[in-house]
Structure 1
Amino acid sequence: MSSLTEFFTLSNGVQIHQLGFGTWQIPDGADTYDSVTTALKVGYRHIDTARAYGNEASVGRAVRDSGIPRDQIFITTKLPAEVKDYDQAHATFEESSSLLDLGPVDLYLIHAPWPWSEPGSDHRVGNVAVWKAMEELHEAGRIRSIGVSNFEVADLEALTSATRIRPHVNQIRWFIGNTQDETTAWCRANDILVEGYSPLATGAILGNPQVKQIADKYGRTVAQVSIRYLLEKGVLPLPKSTTPSRIAENADVDFTLEADDVAFLDGLTDTAN
């Protein structure tokens, strides 16, 4: 079996492909359309976007033009971090739904617990308000699963104590040397799938000599080992690239890291420096 065709199962029974293709920082238009088209041709069936990325329309067009049946592709998008109002959450979802033009969204996330301009600020009340809008959209069949992004334990506890549906997913920055152990453990204990964005530390890990030492042992690239590491840890990786050869390379991760090598990677720190 391939990581492109295997699944994690969310707590509500929805299946999500084990490997996703991220589109953060890919401009709308030809760049997004071409990279998503390439990813789908390589075999990716899980595409991750966000209203904040500004490229939902191009993602949707690439999926529609691919000829692949819609029910074979898993689409994630996200509510902007600045939206902390019930009515605005409904309206913003309608914008994303219209831009994607793909029918029900497979996964919809709160992009962050606070606006990007105010990291760490308290928006617990607003998060509960937008979550209730998302619960309604989920129950109406407009969204198949709902979740959060960039939430730490305190954020998760505040949200889950005041709402009915527990998040199905928490998408966080997760890579070798930055494994967010406390948040990851809390999610596991509460049956919330952890997705890891920036599995290559936004490229910074690619020059790491210790990870390269492991990669050389397996005849693989640093990128492939970095992505495989997330899968070995039960975390869903979301690599991103606009280069066709790297899009394919990042999907070629059907090998197994030995336990000693996983333990070695567990011990690494500062891999993004």
Structure 2
Amino acid sequence: MEYIKLNDGNIIPPIGFGTYKATEQEGIESVKQALKNGYRLLDGAARYENEEAVGKGIKESGLSREDVFITTKVWREHLGYEETKKAFYTSLKQLGLDYIDLYLIHWPANYKNFGDNWKKVNADTWRALEDLQEEGKIKSIGVSNFLVEHLEALLETAKVIPAINQIEFHPGYWQQEVKEYCDNKNIIVEAWSPFARGRVFNNELLQKIAEKHKKSIPQICLKWCLQHHVIPIPKSTTVDRIIDNIDIFDFELTEKEMLEINEIPQIGFSGELPNEWPDRLPAS
């Protein structure tokens, strides 16, 4: 796997392993299996309530700390400068680590819940990440589920441009406007829910392309992400699927196939909108 260089000079693996719902012993084993089978990027979050299991899985894998790129996130209920710092150190303790490779704001503050103060809340939260990065506690900092309006507001006061924006990104819903804005700002996009929670598995076009390449539909979705220069974050607790999801570096989709997949009508959209919470609480 060829690593990707971030705008801060750090490098990140081109595919990650999602740990959402990977809790307790099952979580420990899935992390160990992922690392055993070649994954080096683990994507977690305080909200997943499994950071201790993820930390144990890393330790039991036998890999050195420097060989594993670890992401976690600050949850929406802990936004703000002081609250974010407290949340970060709680995550650090739960994971049993000395530093985090990538720390993200899980969801942005919005007007609906913070009124005219939403920009300041995001700015204060970001300032906490910048300070933690300067102190050496975090290598790279970024955001998750930020739309263009949130990014533009953040950049009004940010000293550091986010290295990553992790968004819902899959065939049938790939947020092209956000992707293009991030590309222009040299912000790498990561894809959560790259399989649209399984809703793409019956798509006839994807089935046809998968048969042509002798690959599975999940592998086609992940390769489509990679060829968009997006880092996919698949998750599974099944060993066969863990292995299948990383076996995507021996084929290429044609330009025509990429365009066809781009044109798939909306399918599998989670309905989770950054400006509408908490009426609909996101699951990842």
TM range (shorter): over 0.9
Q: Is 2:255 the partner of 1:259?
A: yes
User: Could you give the per-residue CA deviations for residues 199-223 of structure 1, whole angstroms, max 9, x where no partner exists?
Assistant: 0011111121221111111111000
Change (3 A) 1:121 1:8: farther
Q: Would you say 1:25 and 2:21 are equivalent positions?
A: yes
Which residue is 1:87 aligned to?
82
Aligned runs of 1:1-273 on 2, under 5 Å? 5-26=1-22, 28-114=23-109, 123-254=118-249, 255-272=251-268
Q: Aligned partners of 1:196 and 1:49: how far apart in 2?
A: 13
CA distance in 2, matches of 1:121, 1:57: 37
Report SS of the residue matched to 2:15.
Answer: coil
Kindly indicate whether the alpha-carbon contact (under 8 Å) linking 2:109 and 2:121 is maintained by their aligned counterparts in 1: no
Q: 1:245 to 1:155 in 2, by over 3 A?
A: same
Q: Under a length normalisation based on structure 2, what TM-score does the superposition of the two structures give?
A: 0.90
Indicate the SS of the match to 2:201. helix
Number of aligned positions between the proteins: 267
For 1:32-62, what per-residue CA distance to the aligned partner results, in whole angstroms no more than 9, with x for missing partners?
1111111011110100000000011111111
* One-letter amino acid of the counterpart of residue 128, structure 2: A
SS of 2:76 mapped into structure 1: coil
Q: Deviations over 1:78-104 (max 9, x none)?
A: 001222221111111000000111221
After TM superposition, where is structure 1 displaced by more than 4 Å over at least 4 residues in a row?
117-122
In structure 2, what is the Cα distance between the partners aligned to 1:208 and 1:65?
Answer: 39
Return the alpha-carbon distance in structure 2 between the equivalents of residues 226 and 120 of structure 1.
38
Gapped runs of 5+ residues in structure 2? 270-284
User: 1 CA distance for matches of 2:83 and 2:248?
Assistant: 40
Q: Which whole-Å CA distance do the structure 2 matches of 1:269 and 1:118 have between them? A: 31
Q: CA deviation at 1:178?
A: 1.0
C-alpha distance in structure 2 between counterparts of 1:175 and 1:56, whole Å: 26
In the TM superposition, what is the alpha-carbon distance from 1:118 to its structure 2 partner? 5.2
SS of the counterpart of 1:205? coil
**Separation in 2 of the partners of 1:119 and 1:173?**
23
RMSD: 1.7
- For residues 134 and 102 of structure 1, the distance between their equivalents in structure 2, rounded to whole angstroms, comes to 17
Question: Alpha-carbon deviations, 1:96-115, whole Å to 9, x = none?
Answer: 00011122100000000138
Q: What is the CA distance between 1:263 and its match in structure 2?
A: 1.1
Determine if contact 1:64/1:102 at 8 Å carries over to the other structure.
Answer: no
Deviation by residue 1:124-162 (Cα, 9 ceiling, x = unmatched): 211111111110000010000000000000000001111
How far, CA to CA, are the matches of 1:46 and 1:103 in structure 2? 17
Which runs of 5 or more structure 1 residues have no equivalent in the other structure? none
Provide the C-alpha distance between the structure 1 equivalents of 2:58 and 2:254, rounded to a whole number of angstroms.
36
After superposition, give the CA deviation of every residue in 1:228-266 in whole Å (9 maximum; x if it has no partner).
000011000000011110010001001111111111111
TM-score (norm 1): 0.94
Deviates more, 1:60-69 or 1:45-54: 60-69
Equivalent pair of 1:84/1:126 in contact (CA under 8 Å)? yes
Amino acid at match of 2:75: P
Identity over the aligned pairs, expressed in percent?
37
Shift of 1:271: 3.0
